[in-house]
Amino acid sequence: MSAYSEAFGASIADPAGFWGEAARAVTWTREPQRILDDTNPPFYRWFPDAELNTCANALDRHVEAGRGDQAALIYDSPVTDTKRTYTYSELLAATARCAGALRGLGVGKGDRVVIYMPMIPEAVIAMLACARLGAVHSVVFGGFAPHELAVRIDDVRPSVVVTASCGIEPSRIVEYKPMIDEALDMAEHPPAHCVVVQRERQRCSMVDGRDLDWDALLAEAEPAAPVPVAATDPLYVLYTSGTTGKPKGIVRDNGGHAVALLWSMRNIYDIAPGEVFWAASDVGWVVGHSYIVYAPLLLGATTVLYEGKPVGTPDPGAFWRVISEHNVKALFTAPTAIRVIRKEDPNAEHLARYDLSGLKYLYVAGERLDPDTYHWAVKNLGIPVIDHWWQTETGWAIAANPMGLEQFPVKAGSPTKPMPGYDIHILADDGSRCETGQDGAICIRLPLPPGTLPTLWNADDRYEASYLSEHPGYYLTGDGGRFDEDGYLFVMGRIDDVINVAGHRLSTGAIEEVLATHPAVAECAVIGVADEIKGQAPRGLVVLKSGAAAEGLADELIALVRKEIGAVATFRLVDVVPGLPKTRSGKILRKTLRGIAAGRDEPVPSTIEDPAVLDALKGILG
């Protein structure tokens, strides 16, 4: 039996045995005697009788093991021309002092702290300091509008907010403090204290009696020791992006989180202690939580914190410079980042300037990896390019190619196979299981593995209604897809991205895959629009590669879809657009596009990266 088959089979047949063994990698203050509490379905809890401290697992135990001089965190900021490496001892000292400062403000076990910060070391330190105290952090992506920030503050009710005077973009300064001030004025439950990192690029005014300077506060603080918490106690609450109305707070517990992330670092990412791992994301998103901060440090690896962009800081070689300088073994980013680099540097001339011999893997997630981007990356990097699929809710990969366990041949368009603990089934609308090759709703049989959400923040009923009610006994991922004959999973996009054309259900993702193969197309989106004859029809929006011509392209793309998918797609509408509206985490706002095409007055989402792109598309789609 293969290593993957053995691990996956054990995790499904005997989840308590499998995860109990994995839990041996964690340092517990009280060892788990019971692995899975299944007495209150659909609410399952892992390691219910155990205690630990996540920060102590991420920092103290490595220092105590004699590895305090090893690099823990590499801060690389091309926007400020700053590079700094923190050893494990240095990061522990800063974190313990920060925890002491927060404790001095009354923060203790179970209290909440909102963190609204750019990609600076203080953001990581603040997160770890909360974990050290047993407090619950809620990181809000820096740049969220004041209203969205206020809504999250009112939902989680923090004792303290930690922020910075500004964020720094390649072409502008983003003033954080005025947004914090406005949000706290709006909030019904503002915290008593706001701790501010004053950045030299732009300092901010302070509110007497409420605002406290980070440096001054930490200088006077006594270091705090780690506080043991129950494995089932929350580590953090992270709100899903793009939420309207009352936000959806994803809860992550301490014990299952540590066990799952440690397992993933070794078995999915093939990283060992001391090696360098770079997740080119943001601490405001789940990737940043899991794979910038916690997973690498829990393992004892070195993590990279990058304050910059794939291009423009200063050029399309930015990622390759970071990899070369810091000897990165594995890069994890979104396909959008690779597409942007490819668009600016299609012949990979900037890549050729750097020694990337230490880079062994490129991992991508967050959106579909189109075959064209996949093949470009493979050709120019000459390493495995690994698509894997997961969600904010799960906190780690649902499906992946586990490079540290067993390497499978890559199939472009597939994140490969389910990871241990994820008992995936493709279900039809009536709840029956779909046949191999048949599209349906991707669902995961309960219980979910450790590290996934046990519930929503103060909203058990909403957790059940949102994820568990559609198919009882299963978690509804919200994505559609299928298994092929080799057991590979294909994720075709959100269920609401399936359109009905004259009674035929078609995946817009499948059409996008075809469009992306055209050599002129940099990226694309397909949406369903109203058709008076067929009910719905697909409409393609394509962004051209640098130097590509639009003339005749629409006809070529229509012919390509007809050839690859067939006339049943009735694909006749194509627009060349200057860009696609995306969230700051790289997801295309397809729902917003559908609303504009339908003539609705769509509000500008708070998570949008560039509102000007949406304005241009309103003129095209309207």
Q: How far apart are CA 316 and CA 364, in angstroms?
A: 18
- Decide if pLDDT at 244 tops 50: no
- Describe the crossing of helices 3-13 and 15-22 by its angle, rounded to 10 degrees: 120
From 226, 252, 282, the end of a domain falls on 226
Query: 529: burial class by Cβ within 10 Å (0-12, 13-18, 19+)?
Result: middle
Specify the 3-state DSSP secondary structure of 251: strand
Per-residue pLDDT, 546: 87
Structure tokens at 542: 């394509």
Indicate if the pLDDT at residue 475 is higher than 50: yes
Query: Which of 181, 206, 226 is a domain's end point?
Result: 226
Residue with token string 């994995």: 22
Over the stretch 170-202, which tens digit does the pLDDT of each residue have?
A: 889 999 999 999 999 999 999 999 999 999 999
pLDDT per residue over 10-56, tens digit each? 999 999 999 999 999 999 999 999 999 999 999 999 999 999 999 99
Q: What is the per-residue pLDDT for 593? A: 86
Average pLDDT over residues 235-248: 72
Q: Does the N-terminal peptide bond of residue 228 adopt cis geometry, omega within 30 degrees of 0?
A: no
Could you identify the residue written with the tokens 């004025």? 185
Q: Write down the pLDDT at residue 497.
A: 65
Whether residue 591 lies inside any domain: the answer is: yes
**pTM of the prediction?**
0.85
For residues 570 and 568, which has the higher predicted lDDT (pLDDT)? Answer: 570
> What pLDDT sits at residue 503?
47
Higher pLDDT, 317 or 494: 317
Of 174, 193, 226, which one is at a domain's C-terminal end?
A: 226
Domain assignment present for 564: yes
**pLDDT category, 616, cuts 50, 70, 90?**
confident
What residue numbers bound the domain in which 217 lies? 101-111+125-226
Residues 6+ apart with CB under 8 A from 353: 317, 320
pLDDT for the residue 243: 35
Q: Residue 131 maps to which CATH number?
A: 3.40.50.980
Structural domain contains residue 471: no
Q: Is the pLDDT of residue 240 over 90?
A: no
* 544 touches 550 (CB < 8 A): yes
Nearest Cα to Cα of residue 89 among 50, 110, 62: 62
How many distinct structural domains can be found in the chain? 2
Q: Which helix (H) or strand (E) holds 425?
A: strand 423-427
Segment 368-374 shows an average pLDDT of 82
Whether omega before 447 lies within 30 degrees of 0, making that bond cis, reads yes
What is the pLDDT at residue 501?
67
Residue written as token pair 């800063």: 94
Instruction: List the CATH number of the domain containing 546.
Output: 3.30.300.30
Q: How confident is the model at residue 498, as a pLDDT?
A: 64
